[in-house]
Amino acid sequence: MKLVDLDFEPLILADAIEKRVKDIGIQLNKDYSDTKPVFVGVLNGSFLFIADLIKQIDIPCEITFTKLASYYGGTKSTLKIRDDIDFSVDIKGRDVLIIEDIVDTGNTAHYLIDKLKAKEPASIKLCSLLLKPASLQTKIDELKYVGFEIENHFVVGYGLDYKEMGRNLRDIYKKV
Ligand code: 5GP
């Protein structure tokens, strides 16, 4: 499969994603059963994951979004973070769960966690569909839910893009 100028091959199929997202949802329903959590979805890459995951949640919750980007259309993290949207839900004293598409170096996650901690929530945890353990630069204590651990591939599909292409794909593909 070709996107723009790069070739990709399947890595995680839609059925496996669906099953894993259901399992994470079951876990979240248990872990947050007596609190009313605030889910903070990190756009753009996690839009499908957020939508599918949130449909599995049957406890009272709020959902808000922020938009961060560190790739700027390439295949390597630039280590610069563009912070596009601040969000207005008051998270003071609330249990917050950040929903990310992928943790690569971990810089984006650290940045967002620090920013949200300043707003004094009761707790902050991170849920990421994908994690590249070999790429992680510092441990993230808040990372409690991970869909799939993958090797250091550049991946697209299920919300993730290459030069804004491929977000619509149902499966996740890796660069050949
Ligand atoms: P980090 O700050 O952890 O290095 O990178 C996090 C962000 O980089 C992700 O939210 C995602 O937007 C982007 N990213 C990291 N790895 C990949 C990848 O393999 N494919 C795509 N499309 N984006 C990635």
**Quick one: which atom of ligand 1 is closest to the CA of 166?**
22
Tens place of pLDDT for every residue, the chain, 176 residues?
A: 999 999 999 999 999 999 999 999 999 999 999 899 999 999 999 999 999 999 999 999 999 988 876 655 566 665 555 565 556 788 999 999 999 999 999 999 999 999 899 999 999 999 999 999 999 998 999 999 999 999 999 999 999 999 999 999 999 999 99
Q: Does domain 2-29+37-70+79-175 bear CATH number 1.10.4100.10?
A: no
Domain ranges across the chain: 2-29+37-70+79-175
Determine the pLDDT at residue 79. 52
Determine the pLDDT at residue 18. 98
Q: Distance from the CA of 35 to the center of ligand 1, in angstroms?
A: 30
135 lines ligand 1 (CB under 6 A): no
DSSP string, 109-148: HHHHHHHHHTT--SEEEEEEEEE-GGG-SS--TTEEEEEE
Are 44 and 69 within 8 A, CB to CB?
Answer: yes
Instruction: Tell which one of 12, 67, 71 to mutate to probe ligand 1, the residue whose CB is within 8 A of the most ligand atoms.
Output: 71
d(C-alpha 111, C-alpha 85), whole Å: 14
**Quick one: which atom of ligand 1 is closest to the CA of 111?**
2
The model's pTM? 0.93
